[in-house]
Structure 1
């Protein structure tokens, strides 16, 4: 194959030198003179008459020349040369057409290789080329202004192919293309697929001269792959051989998807019965042209009659899109060169012909925005619908068409017969199980533990991650054979990279989901908590001088003082007429009021009262005081007896540990701004604990699932502090675009929703161990606030207020019985003086006789 490419390159080089000789390209002056002396109406064509396309193009151009003469009565000479698909023959034919037959334009040239060989000569001779090649690079139009593309660019057709792939949610496809006609189609297909979330898994280049053994080897290699969606872009002759071999290899059966492009699909009408039997179930994208109008009907009749006569070996005599394009191209060029202002490069911008309106934009025929979707079945094909750029799929075209974004409700006959839509990938078998990488460098054996038996023959894989993976597989709707393969690398990044290198089909273990790893693989939903936690040692707190204030908050203390003073005032006001000790000087009465307020709170022994109003207030007051004092005593005892721990504060130079082989180092340096010199790496829980106890490090950053295991094992001397940084979580890794990913995510959700995930986690961290200390230490014995006692405070306050209001109303009612308020006030003042004077005399007499004063709360 390499020798053939070298041979072709040598002939391309010789042909270019031949075409660029003075005999082929004269000086500017002579060229212009020769061109100006040419007779109008001479057009050349270079086609491959050994192919069905070339046969249709020749006959279509002959009919177009006849129609042009019959309508315009102007002579038109058509010179057609056969290249037989060889660029060298095409180059020699172009030299003869330009130099000998002095054509004014050249049509044909089905491949980009043919166009590139003669484009320079055409440009120097100012002879326009109207090419039928699939795709001409954008830069070619700038380099060769006399080069025009007669067939629409295939980019929109690649969009139609991508839309079909998207309709059935296929994410990985394999492309097989003929290297002699790929041109710029593959980049267009790649871009179109990426826009719909799909990717090209593999690209297979096929030589048009490939032997059957070579094609068989390529297909057998694809047969061993898991993915089953194939896009074929090749000539009909190569595609026919390809599908015959695929049919023999049973690759045209269930689970396989084949999508074809032009020129295969547009020539389906010409395929014989033996070949089409090997193509059953293929879905194809076909260039669409309206087969209506009297002009087309006349062309159709004449074409079929003459084609069957000229080519009796062909089974079908119907014209296809290539015949229509050739007819339109010749008519367009013939009309253009007969315009009075035609100067070689200029073409009319608009015409109406068999395929509708013809328009050139940037040296290309305006793109066709509608394509026909067909399904090969039986002896021919059937029309599934249409795809239009910007609109989507429709089962009809024109006015009244109903467009949708998907064709998943279209009835398609897939390879292997009627059945559900293929998944686009095949389930692994026991002969070809999934190779699943498992890390051996993990220091967290609770999550993943790889051990070898004593004889060194067998490996055991255990741990939480392994258990979750097994539980997930049990909920898949299909059996998934696999085998664990230990990975002895140095980092988890290397482990994930093995998927991209195709050494592993998946990775299971304590692998964190991190954005940088998505360039190598994709991940399931995390099966653990997400986040990064900071773990530090704890130390006992010292006893504070104000520790006795700790049971209540400041607002609680203020409220207690206020409600006691208020209750004392109410009792004092009501009982003062019955107790001499509640009278006296202002200072004395204030002291008595405060004493009355707080002795009740702490002694809880109310004195004998004389008024029912004060008794009512005192009863509720004593109940509230009982609750408050008992609560204070209990909370203070807890504060004094329970050991208090507090986290050790970090300084700017403290050393910090992180997990070996983890992405945490990059996160600490790039995001949190830690100096690399402060970081230390450890590989196990015990190593962390020992380093923290020995003060090698002051703290450790652990991922949330690992921190849970650490705190469960070392719960007495360590605590989580600060925020939980929202990163990562553990997940299973699969290749990018893996068809298994969606099924695994669904099964993993079922594991979580069923409670199995929690059960496995509890078995990893037994319930009899300490719980994670994921709380604020200051909240272990929180100070009690007013909200805890608001009902009691409202009750006692309302009771005292009710007693106070009742007392005031009774006094007011008593005063109203007097005729004069003034007299009442004088009587009160006299009574006050008398009481004071009498009380002073009694105290003096008592002191003289050595008797004690009367009880403060008992009347005289």
Structure 2
């Protein structure tokens, strides 16, 4: 597991005490008859992903009622902040003693959390951190259950080549996520003789007036083809300002990467209206009987399917299966318990305990193949 091979593209005031709750899915049998396995979830509380994660657990254990383990999810709010996400990870590892952590929301959050996971030997599993700079090959305890952003560059280059555009200006956010794609896309443009005369870099915390000023600068250039690589929160603000500046017209071409096209639901109605006519690339979601059953059960129309949330659904299902396999294939019950040093200091890296179960879970999730809602991965 690591990338989804069946998908293809088509046209410090620090708050260390983040609210936390643990929940479990107890179907058909009492909790006393099952082994409850704590897993951390770092998530934006306003995201639809949380609902899909709950649905995943309900569906998985309804289908596998005989399994002897149950995931007990300990959820913490990422607050859309790098420091808050890292703080949440530390709290989950030390105080909740979780065996794995799911989903640092963005690549900038994941970088810190992955380092913490490596130190504590706790698998960090992400379906949303797509920056090519985050490599599972270089981070033993990092599992990416989606593709990395470099996969989409061929589709973007094909669009540019088809329309014969000879100059493209990338407009991207100044984060690991935003910067990670640029070397790949510039190389792809060079192969089709398309120039990149300028790079427009916008910080996520930029004010609307700063965004507008950058757009005014772009208006003075001859290039009228722009490639936007941003998260939904910044991208929606960019297009609202571009619309106000009169830059969404027949003379200007806007191309957006998967980070926006797969996350259109959170950007809001006003931003969607501003993005009419924008070209986007996103993974092809293969329709299957499993996905059709899911849509009918939860009364979700095809247009309302959120690919980002579906990845979360599949990731939780895969982890639940890996935990079952790892738990009952470990040599002794002692190996299943987290081994801790005597000294405990709150949020102290040296106090993080290590369990032999964590590497087992990592091994099983990497070696398993799952037929999920988004395809095989």
Match of 1:283 in 2: 279
Shift of 1:304: 5.2
Deviations 1:146-188 (A, max 9, x none): 1111221121211111111111111111111112331521111
Partners of 2:274 and 2:78 in 1: CA distance: 30
**1:112 and 1:183 in contact (8 A); partners too:** no
**Cα contact 2:125–2:144 (8 A) shared by 1:** yes
SS state at 2:222 partner: coil
Distance in 2 of aligned mates of 1:127 and 1:271: 33
Task: Quote the residue 1:320 is aligned against.
Answer: 306
In 2, the alpha carbon distance for the partners of 1:103 and 1:217 equals: 46
For each residue in 1:526-552, what CA deviation from the matched residue of structure 2 results, as whole angstroms up to 9, or x when unmatched? xxxxxxxxxxxxxxxxxxxxxxxxxxx
- Would you say 1:169 and 2:186 are equivalent positions? no
Q: Which residue of 1 aligns with 2:376?
A: 357
Counterpart of 1:71 in structure 2 is 63
Give how far 1:301 is off: 4.2
Q: Pick closer, same or farther for the CA change 1:90–1:303 going to 2, 3 Å.
A: farther
Distance 2:275 2:111 in 1: 33
Match of 2:3 in 1: none
Structure 2 distance, partners of 1:304, 1:110, is 26
Q: What are the within-5 Å matches in structure 2 for residues 497-512 of structure 1?
A: none
Does the 8 A contact of 1:41 with 1:338 survive in 2? no
Contact 1:43 1:76 in 2 (8 A): yes
- In 2, distance between residues paired with 1:41 and 1:266? 31
Q: Residue deviations 1:819-853, cap 9 Å, x none?
A: xxxxxxxxxxxxxxxxxxxxxxxxxxxxxxxxxxx
After superposition, the C-alpha distances for 1:306-340 in whole angstroms (9 at most, x for unaligned) are x9xxxxxxxx9923111110011111111111113
Q: Give distance in 2, aligned partners of 1:125 and 1:209.
A: 32
What secondary structure does 1:230 align onto?
strand
CA distance in 2, matches of 1:82, 1:356: 28
Equivalent position of 1:344 in the other structure: 361
What's the TM-score once normalised by structure 1's chain length?
0.34
1:291 is displaced (CA, Å) by 3.2
Give the aligned CA root-mean-square deviation in angstroms: 2.5
Q: For residues 296-695 of structure 1, what are the structure 2 equivalents within 5 Å?
A: 296-303=291-298, 318-339=304-325, 340-341=328-329, 343-346=360-363, 347=365, 348-358=367-377
Q: Which residue of 1 aligns with 2:253?
A: 257
Aligned counterpart, 2:19: none
Report SS of the residue matched to 2:92. Answer: helix
Structure 1 counterpart of 2:37? 41
Counterpart position of 1:614: none
Assess if the C-alpha contact under 8 Å between 2:171 and 2:199 holds in 1: yes
**Corresponding residue for residue 131 of structure 2:** 135
Larger radius of gyration: 1
Partner in structure 1 of residue 190 of structure 2: 194
Per the alignment, residue 214 of structure 1 pairs with 210
Residues 347-400 of structure 1, C-alpha deviations (whole Å, 9 max, x = no match): 233111111111xxxxxxxxxxxxxxxxxxxxxxxxxxxxxxxxxxxxxxxxxx
Q: Secondary structure at the match of 1:345?
A: helix
Quick one: distance in 1 between partners of 2:119 and 2:241?
Answer: 46
Question: Measured at CA, do residues 97 and 165 of structure 1 come closer, stay the same or move farther in structure 2, by a change above 3 Å?
Answer: same
1:92 to 84, 87, 90: 87
Write the deviation string for residues 761-809 of structure 1: whole angstroms up to 9, x where unpaired.
Answer: xxxxxxxxxxxxxxxxxxxxxxxxxxxxxxxxxxxxxxxxxxxxxxxxx
CA contact (8 A) 1:159 1:193 kept: no
Displacement of 1:345 in angstroms is: 2.3
Q: Can you give the 5+ residue segments of structure 1 that lack an aligned partner in the other structure?
A: 1-6, 16-38, 308-315, 359-860
- Whether the 8 Å contact between 1:104 and 1:337 is mirrored in structure 2 is no
Partner of 2:231: 235
The number of aligned residues is: 310
What residue number does 1:29 align with? none
Which region of structure 1 is more displaced relative to structure 2, 321-330 or 140-149? 140-149
Quickly say closer, same or farther: Cα 1:237–1:121, change in 2 above 3 A: closer
Which structure has the higher relative contact order (CA within 8 Å, separation 6+)? 2
Q: Structure 1 pair 227/42, CA: closer, same or farther in 2 (3 Å)?
A: same
Q: CA separation in 2, counterparts of 1:49 and 1:163?
A: 37
Give the match's secondary structure for 2:258: coil
Structure 2 unaligned spans of 5+ = 1-11, 17-34, 331-359
